[in-house]
Amino acid sequence: MVDKQQKILVIKHGALGDVVLAQSPFQAIREHHPKAHITLLTTALFKPFLAKSGLFDQIWVDEKPKIWNVVKLARLKKKLNGGQFDRVYDLQTSSRSSSYLKLFTDTPEWSGLAAGCSHPHSNKARGTLHTLERQAEQLREAGLDVIPPADFSWCYEDISKFELPEKYALLVPGGAAHRPDKRWPAGKYAELAQQLVASGLTPVVLGGAAEVDVIATIVARCPQAIDLSSQTSLHELASLGQRAVLAVGNDTGPLHLIAAVGCPVTVLFSSASDPARARPRGADVIVLREDNLENLPLGKVLETLKMQKSDE
């Protein structure tokens, strides 16, 4: 008699930084269930990125239906039950993802916060933990004792099309448009870019549509800067980070990925977010915090930069 293949569901939505920090838990789940069929439930943005990781046999896009949208809820319920999952790892642990447990006809084992689940994360102080430690503790309570270091070697791509110089530094001056208090002023980034040029590094500026004005200010004041905003995939972003001499940026998703691939990173925090709970993780990450980032002087940022790398 052939044993039935175990079927596992992993739930992870969140912003880019949250998904980057989930890489170690993703690896732990795969190592703990090497022969299982593992499905990831995530948002559309991350499907093509995580598909290359090799950690999942299948990736589903969660439309995150509203509670009043009975048609989409019924569709999700049918899909979840059709998966015949033996165990679910809810790494999102939101009220939404927790509510999905109620959609199952035959209740699977469940690691998370859902009421009545088989493997609840019992630490009442979990909200004070850094995302990575919180998820690692959750998995240990579900029997996964080994949480390996994050490995992003799968996500590198050729970036020769950007024709970058050998020595460059990444600047990530943006962040959520509705959270301007998490941004260091554009003028300060422009001054930093000028200092980088003086030290022999070419500034490469990254961002999206929400950072158009900020990046325009930087490039106008430092014409040597290269603007790659809205031109990079997540895989290319990781590859840029792997090759960069250093990076400076606000508390935003791209900087999490850049740090995770080993780039020396200085990340700037205001009082709007807590680095103890959500700072980027990597081999070389320095956190600077100022309640109001407008008061963070350029000199303090420059002190953290390993300018000597430009002489290697």
Instruction: Name the CATH superfamily, with its identifier, for domain 7-151.
Output: Glycogen Phosphorylase B; (3.40.50.2000)
Q: How is residue 10 annotated by DSSP?
A: E
Q: Give the C-alpha separation, 20 to 17, whole Å.
A: 5
213-222 pLDDT tens trace: 999 999 999 9
Q: Is the confidence at residue 291, as pLDDT, over 80? A: yes
Residue linked to tokens 């002023």: 185
| Helix, strand, coil tally for the chain in percent (to 5) | 40, 15, 40
Question: Which residue, 8, 16, 10, is CA-closest to 91?
Answer: 10
Confidence of residue 175 (pLDDT cuts 50, 70, 90): confident
Pairing of strands 265-269, 285-289: parallel
Instruction: Name the CATH superfamily, with its identifier, for domain 157-311.
Output: Glycogen Phosphorylase B; (3.40.50.2000)
For the entire predicted model, the pTM comes to 0.93
**Same CATH topology for 7-151 and 157-311?**
yes
pLDDT of residue 5: 93
Q: Are 263 and 239 in contact (CB under 8 A)?
A: no
Q: Is the confidence at residue 307, as pLDDT, over 50? A: no
Q: Give the C-alpha separation, 130 to 275, whole Å.
A: 8
DSSP H or E segment with residue 194: helix 186-198
Write down the domain spans for the chain.
Answer: 7-151, 157-311
pLDDT of residue 311: 42
Q: Give the C-alpha separation, 268 to 181, whole Å.
A: 11
Q: Is the confidence at residue 1, as pLDDT, over 50? A: no
